[in-house]
Amino acid sequence: MLKNKLGITNEVELAKEEERITKLKALDLFDTNEIKNFEVGTYEGLASIHKYLFSDIYEFAGKMRYTNISKGNFRFVPVMYLEEVLNKIDKMPQDNIDNIIKKYVEMNVAHPFREGNGRSTRIWLDMILKNEIGKVVDWSKVNKEEYLLAMERSPIKDTEIKILLENALTDKVNDREVYMKGIDVSYQYEGYNTYSMDELAKNQ
């Protein structure tokens, strides 16, 4: 159970509130164009996204984690090497789809935050794609099971995730509906599916 600013002590309740608040922040990020003020393709840019989404909930929003974390049998980059790895990722090229996916995979392995890495990093990835090749991922076309398996295998071989994401690219980079559906799917990958972006937008 993560310590949070909301004073919530029930894990299910926290997950619901986290989803609701951060989805509204993600919508705000798009509607206000605030994201244009963030660096593209750097850890600093990713930290800005993470802070924007999670600052109402966690003190650690936008801050590098200070504890080792793992998912299943996979251990993400140990804390003692994290800063060095992030500096290397910053320097990785992002001039074509192959290099962008390589950079995305490395950032996923780094997993720099205590929570909310996947959701923040998918927005970060779309920022790079939009800036460099004029496309974004239409996440609604990326099957959850296929994506999770491809990401699990990506540190060894990134061909699978590259093909999966390349096949879902769209040039509708400023389409609000594509963005909103993408956020919903991104959250579903992590098991968050209580609220839809469309419903939240209508009730604002």
Ranges in the chain, pLDDT < 70: none
Predicted local distance difference test score (pLDDT) of residue 33:
94
Residue 1: per-residue pLDDT: 76
Q: What is residue 14's predicted lDDT score, i.e. its pLDDT?
A: 96
The answer to whether 88 and 102 are in contact (CB under 8 A) is no
User: According to the model, what pLDDT value does residue 71 have?
Assistant: 87
- What CA–CA distance (Å, rounded) separates 17 from 83? 31
75 in helix, strand or coil? Answer: strand
Residue range 12-21, pLDDT digits in tens:
999 999 999 9
- What pLDDT is stored for residue 158 in this prediction? 95
pLDDT at residue 80 in the model: 97
Domain locations in the chain?
A: 11-202
In angstroms, what CA-CA distances link 152 with 7, 24, 61, 193? 33, 29, 25, 22
CATH class, domain 11-202, is mainly alpha
